Amino acid sequence: MTDSKSGVPAAFDAGAASYDGLVDANPGYHRHLRMSAERMRLANGGKGLRLLDAGCGTGASTAALLSVAPDAEIVAVDASAGMLAEAAAKRWPETVRFVHSRIEDLGAAGVDGPFDGIFAAYLLRNLSDPDTQLAEFRSLLRAGATLAVHEYSVRDSRIATAMWNAVCATIIIPMGKLRSGDAGLYRYLRRSVNEFDGAEAFLNRLRANGFANVRSETVPGWQRNIVHTFLAEAPR
């Protein structure tokens, strides 16, 4: 895989068949997604709400949203046809709709707002222009609605950076190569997390793109200060 962000969907296509097996080996992966979804504080089980799952992958983030908002309408979008096929093959209620599109091209794919919440898990660091996308997310949200960005961010903590690189070198990259036959996607994962905004820088990025009530929380365990929920609201 090259350094270009444009090649990310194709890399996920190649790794789609083995992806669920790899993330399932991380005991915190699904629990942390649910934690981020819970932090959106979606009322009444999501009844009457319309939510966007931006970068849904194989559907783990979609399932996390459903766990806290089972009555919501969910539009789940991903740029990787392979990952989306894995997601769509699972059982979902009729309120969930999967759309194959780059997140930058939602309008052309017939996806428009307003949404009562947007969940973006492991997406923003894979985009070449995160600022434009954040501004677009803000425009897609109803006034006062929440954007939750579930993402790796280690640059503000030397301990988190060291832990992340150690786990990548000894577990994630070797397991990725063993299961998929190619470690390129997982080497990219390591590098992209190291290069992504620190937590404070990303909070400032959210503010600069017009969001209000910006804050973040991390997760427990070894991924403390590695995985974060960044929360922000569209201005009222």
pLDDT single digits (tens) 50-108: 999 999 999 999 999 999 999 999 999 999 999 999 999 999 999 999 999 999 999 99
Per the listing, tokens 């501004």 go with 135
pLDDT single digits (tens) 88-103: 999 999 999 999 999 9
In this structure, of 104-113, 124-133, 170-179, the range with the lowest mean pLDDT score is 170-179
User: pTM to 2 decimals?
Assistant: 0.94
pLDDT single digits (tens) 151-183: 999 999 999 999 999 999 998 889 878 877 777
CA–CA dist 105, 7 (Å, integer)? 16
CA–CA dist 155, 78 (Å, integer)? 27
Phi, psi of 27 (to 5 degrees): -65, -20
Domains of the chain: 28-157+197-233 (3.40.50.150)
Helix ranges (DSSP H) in the chain: 8-24, 29-38, 60-68, 81-88, 130-140, 158-167, 173-180, 184-195, 199-208
Q: Could you please report the per-residue DSSP string of 15-35?
A: HHHHHHHHHHTSTTHHHHHHH
What is the chain's alpha carbon radius of gyration, rounded to the nearest angstrom? Answer: 17
